[in-house]
Each structure stands twice: as structure tokens, then as C-alpha cells.
């Protein structure tokens, strides 16, 4: 079997799995009876990326339906639920403090708007989209500009990842940009939440805290420390701790009050 036929067969099998997961209420996380029958926020939105790439109208419709289901069960404070069983309406509260549900929800709406240009759908869901961003901003408990994530607060519930995490904050930067662009598709009279620290600042702080480049810092040491100090004094103090490691070819996976992770979070870096 040549390479093209292997790739084509793999694609057809992947599409078959997605069709088995697609329902009128959205993408289930598994098509298996003993699997995950729920619509998970992160899983359904990542699947939606593949649906758009496939250009399959049935799969794209399931992505849109996922957004509808997630919107219907949003909490009054703005939390997008980790998962919802579409058959029973049951919301699981196991590992439910999942900040990445809100992040992927915002990005899913951006994907749908870019794909369809459906401003009526966007306007109908705008209050929930705005509330989802506001909920995220409250996860920045010390107002440093980055999200503080507890253990088991994202998909990595079996790893000790916490506080200023790479994966969530990379998505936060993307979500802030997405919200900003989505707002331009609405009439100027529609209210929209404005982050106290905008997307450009999130980007700058993420780079300042989590990218370790000894050569650059050696040349700009005083400037770099003053910047860290202006953001958060705790970052300045922590930097002397991190200063014991040399440059890394990847962003640190998480940085906490006195500790940090020193391994490559491939999804976060991607």
C-alpha cells in the first residue's frame, strides 16, 4: 500500500470516528458505550477544529451544536461546564474547576464566526461569551495579568501543574485576541467586557516570566529585572530562584510562588 492510500485510509477512519461522536447536541468525547458520553468543552472544541478542516457539513453542524449545549449550561457567574451529558443534562463536578473550558469555548465561537460569518448566532450568544471572558479574568486572583490555575484546574489533572501555567495562559492570550476581534463583528451599541490587562500585555508577561534566555538577560539584566518588578514583586524574587537554571529551548510549563516546572509541556508550547 503506497503512502497516499495509507493517509487516505487513516483520514476516512478518523472521519468515521468523528461521525460516531457527532450528535444533534454536539460532539461526545467518545462514541463507545463504555467511554465518555458527555460533551466536554475542551474535547468538543478541539474536535471542532478537525471538523472545520474536514469541511464536512455534518461535523461542522455538530461543532455548532456543541457551542449551543455549552452555552445552555453556563453558570450564572460565567463558568462553562467541564462537561454535560446531553441525554440527561447531568453536569459532572469531578475535576470541574476547569479554566480551559472557558478558554476553548471562546476560541470555538471565534472559529465558528470566522468560518460562517454568522453575526446573528454570535449576537445571540454574545452575553455568554462576554461572561465567559469576565469569569476568566477573575481567575487572575492577584491581578498580575496571567491566570492562576489550581492543580487539576485544566486537562492535566494527573500532573502537578499549578499557578501561572503555560497551557492556560497561551490560550488566554488567544482568547483575549478572539474576543477582541469578535466584538468588531457586532454593532457598536452592544456592550462588551474589556480586560484590565489586554492581549498585548498578556503576551508580554507570559514571555517575561516563562521564557528563559540567559544570553538575552545577560545583555538586558537591569531592564529585565525592573520589568519583572513593575509587573509583580513576587516575580522579581522568584526570578533569582529560576536563575539557577540555564536557557531553555521551550517555555516553562508553570511558575508558582516559590517553585516552577522544568520540563517541556508540548501542547502548551505548540
The Cα–Cα gap between 45 and 175 comes to: 13
What mean pLDDT, rounded, does the chain reach?
90
Distance between CA atoms of residues 39 and 88, nearest Å:
12
Exposed/middle/buried for 10, CB within 10 Å: 0-12, 13-18, 19+? exposed
pLDDT at residue 160, as a whole number: 82
81 in any annotated domain: yes
Total of domains in the chain: 1
Q: What range defines the domain where residue 150 resides?
A: 3-211+248-269
Q: Rounded distance, CA 30 to CA 151, Å?
A: 25
Note whether residue 87 is domain-resident.
yes
- The answer to whether residues 74 and 131 touch, using CB atoms and an 8 Å cutoff, is yes
204-245 residue pLDDT tens:
999 988 888 766 666 666 777 777 777 777 777 677 666 667
Flag whether 94 is in a domain: yes
Full-model pTM: 0.93
pLDDT at 1 over 70: no
In a domain, 138, yes or no: yes
pLDDT of residue 93: 81
Higher-confidence residue of 226 and 48: namely 48
What is the tens place of the pLDDT at every residue in 110-137? 999 999 999 999 999 999 999 999 999 9
Q: Is residue 221 a part of any domain in this protein?
A: no
Q: Is the pLDDT of residue 181 over 70?
A: yes
Mean pLDDT of 175-181: 97
Q: For residue 200, is it within any domain?
A: yes
For the chain, how far is it from start to end, CA to CA, in angstroms?
32
Residue 32: inside a domain:
yes
Q: 201 in a domain, yes or no?
A: yes
pLDDT score of 269 more than 80: yes
pLDDT recorded at residue 217: 62
CATH number of the CATH domain containing 11? 1.50.10.10
Among 208, 205, 193, which Cα is nearest to 143's?
205
Task: Give ∠ CA 232-234-238 in degrees, rounded to 5.
Answer: 125
Whole-angstrom distance, CA of residue 91 vs CA of residue 13? 30
Separation between Cα atoms, residue 216 and residue 270, nearest integer Å: 22
pLDDT confidence bin for 148, thresholds 50/70/90: very high
Amino acid at each position: 500500500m503506497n503512502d497516499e492510500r495509507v493517509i487516505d485510509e487513516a483520514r476516512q477512519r478518523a472521519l468515521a470516528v468523528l461521525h460516531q461522536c457527532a450528535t444533534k447536541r454536539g460532539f461526545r468525547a467518545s462514541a463507545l458505550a463504555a467511554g465518555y458520553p458527555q460533551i466536554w468543552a475542551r474535547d468538543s472544541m478541539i474536535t471542532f477544529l478537525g471538523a472545520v478542516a474536514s469541511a464536512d457539513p455534518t461535523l461542522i453542524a455538530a461543532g455548532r451544536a456543541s457551542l449551543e449545549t455549552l452555552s445552555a449550561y453556563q453558570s450564572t457567574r460565567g463558568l462553562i461546564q467541564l462537561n454535560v451529558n446531553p441525554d440527561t443534562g447531568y453536569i459532572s463536578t469531578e475535576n470541574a474547576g476547569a479554566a480551559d473550558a472557558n478558554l476553548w469555548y471562546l476560541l470555538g465561537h471565534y472559529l465558528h464566526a470566522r468560518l460562517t460569518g454568522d453575526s446573528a448566532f454570535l449576537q445571540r450568544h454574545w452575553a455568554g461569551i462576554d461572561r465567559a471572558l469576565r469569569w476568566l479574568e477573575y481567575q487572575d486572583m492577584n491581578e498580575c495579568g496571567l491566570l492562576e490555575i489550581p492543580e487539576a484546574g485544566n486537562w492535566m489533572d494527573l500532573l502537578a501543574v499549578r499557578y501561572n501555567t503555560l497551557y492556560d495562559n497561551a490560550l488566554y492570550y488567544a482568547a483575549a485576541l478572539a474576543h477582541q476581534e469578535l466584538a468588531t463583528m457586532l454593532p457598536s451599541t452592544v456592550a462588551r467586557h474589556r480586560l484590565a490587562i489586554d492581549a498585548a500585555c498578556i503576551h508580554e508577561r507570559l514571555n517575561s516570566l516563562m521564557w528563559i534566555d540567559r544570553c538575552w538577560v545577560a545583555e538586558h539584566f537591569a531592564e529585565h529585572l525592573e520589568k519583572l518588578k513593575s509587573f509583580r514583586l513576587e516575580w522579581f524574587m522568584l526570578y533569582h530562584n529560576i536563575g539557577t537554571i540555564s536557557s531553555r529551548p521551550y517555555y516553562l510549563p508553570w511558575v508558582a510562588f516559590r517553585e516552577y516546572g522544568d520540563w517541556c509541556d508540548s501542547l502548551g508550547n505548540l
